[in-house]
Structure 1
């Protein structure tokens, strides 16, 4: 399996504060590989949360975003020593750090978990649809496929892209439209760098998931009712022992 496409930022923040005002410089390296051409070095100059000037290695000089920032950018761009120093930072500061971070990230992986369920197709030529949902995996690159009686299914299959959860994990959903056949075996197959072998999840067509859920809920309610009834009976018997019976005249 190929290594996944990565995109990270290395951050270094310098702060100055005085009388309630704050100025800071945020230095970062944006990259998606260790190739120097895929790395961007950025120095952002910020005053009270407003970025007023920036140096980007892709641009090669300073750019201003406010009147004050434009004046600073013009002055810094005229100073060849400042520009030379900023242009050298991509290789000096970013390259080694990016290599370390990239290699570290590639060694980390998180196994996915799979949920297989049946849904009613909104349209199409088939009677049924299965959805194989794969959650909480890292890195991003993954393969989700279907087999029917041991043979890979390539038609009537649609999949979403890998969807970022915003916490470094990803999810993906694959749909298979099919017409049920007696005795068949349908499986969702997941291949990921975190797995030593493909993760195979078989579909059990013996009962629709909605019916299984109804039975599970009903059984839970029955058990809860029995527990409450038993507790009430025990409470009644306990109270009855402590009562003094008054004989009738």
Structure 2
């Protein structure tokens, strides 16, 4: 964990100087830290020249003893300022690692009838919430703007191939012309509840009165035929016996 934090907050600023005779050289500052130590160093062509010793609280030369004497700049103010900055950065990194942002996917909601709709024929409305993560979702039903709880069910959660979830909620109902139903889904990935509306309109097929009457007439004619047949059989037997 410490090595990762050091890498995240490690800062390197570089520049280049040179001439046609000597070529180019790279210099800069290395500012790094982890949970227990800090580094504030000046480098030249990849070699550390001076650094700040946070224990001794002084700037120290890293040049070998046989090197030419050089003026050592005082890095005290800059090094201590970096120490405070590093503490703030580490706090931010720690919070991000310990509490990573939650992955959220908002549901897509659809509302439809289970079977072909006919007036005054029992049916079910299906409210499908799909492609959301994580669970749960909350589903509310209304009929004509009034909350409905009777006849409502919520099925199990199904996992999709992409790792998201889907769930079905159903409402048993008997369609009447002009009724308006709604399904509302709540999920923490949504900015607000998502609602779908379903209305029983004039295009819904109504059971045919003519078909019902015709069925009754046919049934009556059938019964009459049976009765007539029985009467003829009885009369035939009576004639034979006489």
Q: Same fold (TM over 0.5)?
A: no
Normalising by the residue count of structure 2, what TM-score does the alignment of the two structures yield? Answer: 0.39
TM-score, with structure 1 as normaliser: 0.38
* Max Rg structure: 2
